[in-house]
Amino acid sequence: MRVIRSIHSLRQVINKAKRQNKKIGFVPTMGALHDGHRSLLKKCRRENNLVVLSIFVNPQQFAPHEDYAQYPRDKKKDELLAKKENVDIIFYPSEEIMYPKGYLSYVTVESISDLLCGKSRPGHFKGVATIVAKLLNCVSPDILYLGQKDAQQAYILKKMIADLNFPVKVKICPIIRENDGLAMSSRNRYLTQQERKEAPILFQSLQEAKRKILAGERNLITISRLMESNIKRYSHGKLDYIECVDPGTLAPLAQIQKKFMIALAVKLGKTRLIDNIIIQIYAMGQRIK
């Protein structure tokens, strides 16, 4: 495994791999790696000859009041985990390399960046799209691997890739959960003991919504209210949003359709948690995925 810090050295290795017809898979991260990242790396390893992992805590996707300074950074642990997953290259650029003095260029994926998490995190997805565009230009992968937990991020990046003609295929991988259902996230480590006990309420309320829909409930307002009251009752969490959206466009839905996504964000203490499920209804049999 090589740890590469400069874009020039990375491109030399990538160009050599391309000349050898190697298929290049890429997993972008901000480090503090967990089993969710591992599942992306495992899939990437299975499907490619060269596995590139980037670790860069991107300042452009944090608002000034957010957790950029506290964001967990554990280079040694990350390197160990990457080695275990047979990563070939860790790209570890510095802030000066990615955003040198005088940096002026940004990527905005309009309108969909303002929905869901974008409402309470203005500018966040501009930061995400910009860094991923830059990383794609450095790594030139054949396949980019992203996680379904950050469903809006994945959707926005897919749109950016299509709109700007990046020659890369995108694969979205399933959410990996703790035993109690909490979606894995680097930010889970911020939770106090009490908050950690309460955190599975996000997934539990999604499951409860699914059960209600299975039992025939079709009113989205009733479902959102039920989820909200569960969150209030069983946690100290402050609800940011619960939304039912079309998974193909992220457009908010007024009515249940055959396939839809329920997404939510909850602030538990200082930690903002997100989760989602995609529900598919097969005719009147109401089989749910």
Using CB under 6 A as the binding criterion, the count of chain residues that bind ligand PAF stands at 10
In the β-sheet with 143-147, what is the strand arrangement from edge to edge? Answer: 2-4, 89-91, 50-55, 24-29, 143-147, 169-173
**Active-site residue, from 8, 34, 37, 65:** 37
Q: Which stretch binds ligand PAF (CB under 6 A): 9-17, 81-89, 104-112, 127-135?
A: 127-135
Q: How many CA atoms lie within 13 A of 90 on its CB side?
A: 23
Distances (CA, A) of 158 to 112, 166, 248: 12, 10, 11
Q: How far is the CB of 150 from ligand PAF (least distance, A)?
A: 5
Say which amino acid occupies 15: N
User: Are residues 17 and 24 in contact, defined by beta-carbon separation less than 8 angstroms?
Assistant: yes
Q: Specify the residue, 117 or 245, whose C-beta has the smaller distance to ligand PAF.
A: 117
- Nearest approach in angstroms of CB 281 to ligand PAF is 30
Task: Decide: is 151 part of the binding site for ligand PAF (CB under 6 A).
Answer: no
Q: Does the annotation mark 236 as catalytic? A: no
- Kindly state the smallest distance separating residue 120's Cβ from ligand PAF, in Å: 16
Position 150 contacts ligand PAF (CB under 6 A): yes
Site for ligand PAF, residues 20 to 49, rule: CB under 6 A: 28-30
Q: How far is CA 121 from CA 55, 81, 92, 265, 286, in A?
A: 22, 30, 26, 11, 35
| C-beta of 132 vs 184, nearer to ligand PAF | 132
Q: Residue 146: beta bridge partners?
A: 172
In this structure, are residues 98 and 58 in contact, taking their beta carbons and an 8 Å threshold? yes
Q: Is 274 in the site for ligand PAF (CB under 6 A)?
A: no
The residues carrying an active-site annotation are 37
Binding residues for ligand PAF, rule: CB under 6 A, are 28-30, 58, 61, 128, 131-132, 150, 153
